[in-house]
A and B are shown apart, each in its own frame.
Chain A
């Protein structure tokens, strides 16, 4: 009973604070997703590019951001960004300091990591689409962009989706790291609640269960998305 009061919404309980944190965690993950995936696709195309420089750059990007601890990437982006911008601002008006928005730094850092991991998934999927598909699209007179958008991409998406689902799950858990640079996400709100109530075990367990609920919810949605992405394939099968 005492624990239910701790979780109640309103001035006596921490329910509303934690819910706000959870919402921010979801916002952070959802904002990172399009940026990370777009960059990941770009890096994958770079790995497949005819230019050796583009290939080397794409591979270097993957090696670095897959190999670095996410926490370190976050610090480099946050503090490094702050110092770089402060220096740049110094040229315009000497003595000026720049505060980097934490949320933006979080999105950027998590996005770089997501891009590195998803580029591997996209690259493998790209290889799984037969060359003939692209050639056929060109033969039909489709311009390059349309050939990618309407012919290659839908097939690539189907193959890539299970891997990307995995990346999404990892991303959601990685968002907890941003609490370290003082974003009021689920993890940090929980820490604040712990600081006041001195009930670390209960509150961190609640936080874990909320993350777990996000994972379960995501896997339900993603299973449906995977079924939808391969709907064209089932029709072609001999069922």
Chain B
């Protein structure tokens, strides 16, 4: 039933593509795989951003309110992951994990590191956590001291001060750079294709190696630009909505 409906739509689409001068055969063969690739890319980015955000929170708090040792450790973490290429980090995790296979088997984690997709999510999470922690730290530090003092004087516990006073404001300040981080992550996620993940970039490379048609790179370019543009638009709306109490300069 669904097929009967979708097939003519698909054929119409392909005919249209052929009409505007694109390679309809190529699209027939790889079009669906490209969409799957987009799905994998979105999954990579979504999972990494989410886990990264969870990890960034304690890192940022460690840098701001931690003792000497914890704040230095958090600083070192951020410095390492921001100062080295994501490609090197990905290789370190993906190939490095293979070297410690016995160890990972012993502790029952080998099933996780065996899979390239998991390794990519793991690396991207560690990487984006470092960037997100810096963004959050910037937000926290730009708040006037009076905010946390005010919270304390109301009798709130340190946890409550963070949860109800500091963090909501820090996230509002960091909203724009966090949006940039999403865009950067979408772009960086292409690196996963180097370790055999069939994300959008991986599918593109596969299609190109079989067809030698440059057109596939143009599709990929359009799809990546589309994703980035959508995130930018969504973030504009988010920012207007969440920061509507703040007088924006524009």
- B229 with A67: CB separation less than 8 A: yes
Contact A71:B201 (CB < 8 A) given known A63-B225, A211-B88: yes
Q: Is A72 an interface residue (CB 8 A)?
A: yes
Residues of A within 8 A of B204 (CB): 72
0/1 per residue, A66-84, Cβ < 8 Å to B? 0111111001100110010
Q: Is B114 an interface residue (CB 8 A)?
A: no
Q: Which of B92, B186, B194, B208 contacts A208 (CB 8 A)?
A: B92
Residues of B within 8 A of A75 (CB): 205, 208, 217
Assembled-state Cα–Cα distance A176/B186 (Å): 18
Q: Which residue of B lies closest to A204 (CB)?
A: B92
Assembled-state Cα–Cα distance A39/B86 (Å): 26
Q: Is B13 an interface residue (CB 8 A)?
A: no
Q: How extensive is the interface on chain B, given as a class?
A: 35 or more
0/1 per residue, A211-224, Cβ < 8 Å to B? 11001100000000
- B225 with A67: CB separation less than 8 A: yes
Q: Which of A70, A72, A194, A204 contacts B220 (CB 8 A)?
A: A72
Contact A216:B224 (CB < 8 A) given known A198-B99, A200-B96: no
- A72 with B85: CB separation less than 8 A: no
- A201 with B201: CB separation less than 8 A: no
- A71 with B100: CB separation less than 8 A: no
Nearest chain B CB to A62 CB, angstrom units? 12
- A187 with B85: CB separation less than 8 A: yes
Residues of A within 8 A of B128 (CB): none
Contact A76:B80 (CB < 8 A) given known A67-B187, A177-B87, A191-B91: no
- B99 with A200: CB separation less than 8 A: yes
Q: Is A182 an interface residue (CB 8 A)?
A: no
> Which secondary structure dominates chain A's binding surface?
helix
Interface residues of A in 182-216 (CB under 8 A from B): 187, 190-191, 194, 198-201, 204-205, 207-208, 211-212, 215-216
Q: Which of B88, B100, B201 contacts A204 (CB 8 A)?
A: B88
- B95 with A200: CB separation less than 8 A: yes
Assembled-state Cα–Cα distance A176/B85 (Å): 7
Residues of B within 8 A of A71 (CB): 190-191, 193-194, 201
Contact A68:B83 (CB < 8 A) given known A176-B88, A187-B88, A204-B95: no
Q: Is A179 an interface residue (CB 8 A)?
A: yes
Nearest chain B CB to A106 CB, angstrom units? 14
Contact A204:B225 (CB < 8 A) given known A70-B187, A71-B190: no
Contact A68:B85 (CB < 8 A) given known A80-B217, A194-B95: no
- A211 with B217: CB separation less than 8 A: no
Q: Is B221 an interface residue (CB 8 A)?
A: yes
Q: Is B188 an interface residue (CB 8 A)?
A: yes
Residues of A within 8 A of B217 (CB): 72, 75-76, 79-80
Assembled-state Cα–Cα distance A198/B95 (Å): 9
- B229 with A173: CB separation less than 8 A: no
Residues of B within 8 A of A191 (CB): 91
- B187 with A187: CB separation less than 8 A: no
Nearest chain B CB to A99 CB, angstrom units? 15
Residues of B within 8 A of A208 (CB): 80, 84-85, 88-89, 92
- A80 with B99: CB separation less than 8 A: no
Interface residues of B in 31-55 (CB under 8 A from A): none
Q: Is B2 an interface residue (CB 8 A)?
A: no
List 29 A–B pairs whose Cβ atoms lie within 8 Å, in order of A's numbering: A64-B221, A69-B186, A69-B188, A69-B201, A70-B187, A71-B193, A72-B217, A72-B221, A75-B205, A76-B221, A79-B217, A173-B84, A175-B85, A176-B85, A176-B88, A177-B191, A187-B88, A190-B91, A199-B99, A200-B92, A200-B95, A201-B100, A204-B91, A204-B92, A204-B95, A205-B92, A205-B96, A212-B84, A215-B84
A residues near B, CB below 8 A?
63-64, 67-72, 75-76, 79-80, 83, 169, 173-177, 179-180, 187, 190-191, 194, 198-201, 204-205, 207-208, 211-212, 215-216
Please name 10 further chain A to chain B contacts, defined as beta carbons within 8 Å, in addition to the given A71-B191, A72-B217, sorted by A numbering: A67-B225, A173-B85, A174-B85, A199-B99, A200-B99, A204-B88, A207-B88, A208-B89, A211-B85, A212-B84
B residues near A, CB below 8 A?
79-80, 83-89, 91-92, 95-96, 98-100, 183, 186-191, 193-194, 201, 204-205, 208, 214, 217, 220-221, 224-225, 228-229
